[in-house]
Amino acid sequence: MKKLVVAVSMVCVSMGVAAQPTKYEPIKPVAPVKVENPALVELGTKLFFDPRLSRSGFISCNSCHNLATGGVDNLKTSVGDYWAQGPINSPTVLNSFGQVAQFWDGRAKTLEEQAAGPIANPLEMASTHELAVEVISSIPGYRAEFKKVFGDDKVDIKRITDAIAAFEMTLVTPNSRFDQWLKGDSKALTAEEKAGYQLFKSSGCTMCHAGEKLGGDKFMKMGLVKPYKTTNTATGVHALSGKDQDRMTFKVPMLRNVELTYPYFHDGEAQTLEEATRLMGDLQLGKRYTDKEVAQIVAFLKTLTGEQPKIAYPILPPSSNATPIFDPWAKKK
């Protein structure tokens, strides 16, 4: 009897009639955010958008993680200080909390640690933590907000990154059409989208892309079945561990809002979802998808776009006479 049930289930899936989710689905809906400290989030919002955390006074966190474009900059690799070309594709900041680690190679364990990195990275914001603290400390409006949030007006890098991380934790995208389907709305997806999801599961994609975020919870070698060929020099976890078995091992990217976060992969080489789907099938699963199968999977992936955070562009407190003067064109020391 059990074999008959399994056989019938497989036939139904192949015919695209799996109209309702089961309680065993490998993907879970995104939970709405709960803000516990509004004042800290408000401070973090301003700091996230404030370019004065950079050496040039021009680059902010939002420059590479643009909240108007899915939390990314839609470039293969980002533009940094002095128009430097970044070494790797910028991951989305949306739904970024709660991952196994931050950055493609996992070198930051928390959002707070991640927020500190770009400020002092010479290819990104190119400031120093000391200068960033000096700049923020020199702005009376910020000092007042730090006192409101922390009880005194002391500014240090930990408080700056704690505030930025608190804001980033609010950047979740619930209520995608796929989530609506998971919650029981059988009409939320088309037949093609449901077929794409069934193919996504049956192919083995959910071995890496599952849970609430469809990724972000493990590291995986890029090119499990076939080597991945790229001119990008990033080697992933290998750069930290020095172990040869870690070469080309990267954090599995989240697929939430993947329709918005092109181009794809750590090197940004895949410009379209179609191209990324074909390559992942071939390199990771050993599968050659047909054009119809690619279209079905892409249709499913586009249902993962959730409600984007509604952010009011913050009005930043003005600099004071004591604030260091920014010169984007100053010669490198």
* Residue-by-residue pLDDT tens, the chain, 333 positions: 444 333 434 444 444 445 689 889 999 999 999 999 999 999 999 999 999 999 999 999 999 999 999 999 999 999 999 999 999 999 999 999 999 999 999 999 999 999 999 999 999 999 999 999 999 999 999 999 999 999 999 999 999 999 999 999 999 999 999 999 999 999 999 999 999 999 999 999 999 999 999 999 999 999 999 999 999 999 999 999 999 999 999 999 999 999 999 999 999 999 999 999 999 999 999 999 999 999 999 999 999 999 999 999 999 999 999 999 999 999 887
User: CA neighbours within 13 Å on the CB side: how many for 186?
Assistant: 5
Question: What's this model's pTM, rounded to 2 decimal places?
Answer: 0.93
Of 42, 112, 113, 124, which one is the catalytic site residue?
124
Whole-number Cα distances in Å, 53 to 21, 98, 190, 279, 320: 46, 25, 46, 38, 15
How many angstroms separate the CA atoms of 294 and 309, rounded? 29
Q: How far does Cα 306 stand from its chain's mean position?
A: 14
The answer to whether the CB of 222 falls within 8 A of the CB of 88 is no
Please give the helix or strand (H or E) that residue 251 lies within, else none.
strand 249-251
Residue whose pair of structure tokens reads 């892309």 in the numeric block? 209
Contacts of 173 (CB under 8 A, 6+ apart): 30, 94, 95, 256, 257, 305, 306, 307, 308, 309
Hey, what are 285's tokens? 């699963």
Burial of 257 by CB count in 10 Å (0-12 exposed, 13-18 middle, 19+ buried)? buried
Altogether, the residues listed in the chain come to a count of 333
Walk me through the domains of the chain, giving residue ranges and CATH numbers.
19-31+176-304 (1.10.760.10), 38-168 (1.10.760.10)
Q: Is the dihedral of CA 161, 163, 165, 168 positive or negative?
A: negative
Predicted local distance difference test score (pLDDT) of residue 170: 98
Predicted local distance difference test score (pLDDT) of residue 19: 66
How many angstroms separate the CA atoms of 206 and 208, rounded? 5
The answer to whether the CB of 129 falls within 8 A of the CB of 19 is no
Predicted local distance difference test score (pLDDT) of residue 6: 39
The answer to whether the CB of 65 falls within 8 A of the CB of 71 is yes
Assess whether 124 carries a catalytic annotation. Answer: yes
Predicted local distance difference test score (pLDDT) of residue 4: 37
Q: Is the dihedral of CA 82, 88, 92, 98 positive or negative?
A: negative
How many angstroms separate the CA atoms of 305 and 259, rounded? 7
How many angstroms separate the CA atoms of 210 and 225, rounded? 20
The b-or-e profile of 151-164 (16+ CB within 10 A means b, else e) is eeeebebebbbbbb
